[in-house]
Amino acid sequence: MTNPPEIASSGWHASWHPRALKIASPNFDERPTGTLVELIVIHAISLPPGHFGGGAVAQLFTNSLDFNAHPYFAEIQALRVSTHFFIQRGGQLVQFVSCNDRAWHAGVSCWKARERCNDFSIGIELEGDDDSNFEDAQYQTLNDLIADLRRAFPIVDVVGHCDIAPGRKTDPGPCFDWQRIAHD
């Protein structure tokens, strides 16, 4: 597999972002040979649901969550999931999987008649839920990240998890303001 081009304007190679805290997840594998990254999928997550802060999201993505720490955690004990990026409420950027690899964020999914969106997408989780507005700092970090990713990959679309898994997923949810996302 060849490395993506260097992003001259931000000085990074499209694998690990230099402005992101790197916390490597074991939950990834290789993309299918020759597959281009053409899609960004925006998600929302809070653990436990409706609670922000703490380290539970990072622990979930690194298989180190204490399933006895909250009753909800027992329900998700079998999950082995990850994402490329996580944007915390204050705008801090964390990266769990290299952009060259396939993170396990989309699950059963389809976009424009293409199934298995994990194969050709970058997953970005925002710390949030269906009932809370997202923070200005999150939109700023998200827009900066999308711009960097567009310089590195032939991104065609930016969509929500709800768009690629309708009826199964609702995130990033009704409180996510799509008008605040840069479209260039």
Residues involved in catalysis: 125
* Contact call for residues 17 and 53 (beta carbons, < 8 A): no
Q: Which residue has the tokens 């998890």?
A: 161
- SS3 per-residue string spanning the chain: CCCCCEECCCCEECCCCCCCEECCCCCEEECCCCCCCCEEEEEEECCCCCCCCCCHHHHHHCCCCCCCCCHHHHHCCCCCCCCCEEECCCCCEEECCCCCEEECCCCCCEECCEECHHHHEEEEEEECCCCCCCCHHHHHHHHHHHHHHHHHCCCCEEEEHHHHCCCCCCCCCCCCCHHHCCCC
Amino acid found at 166? P
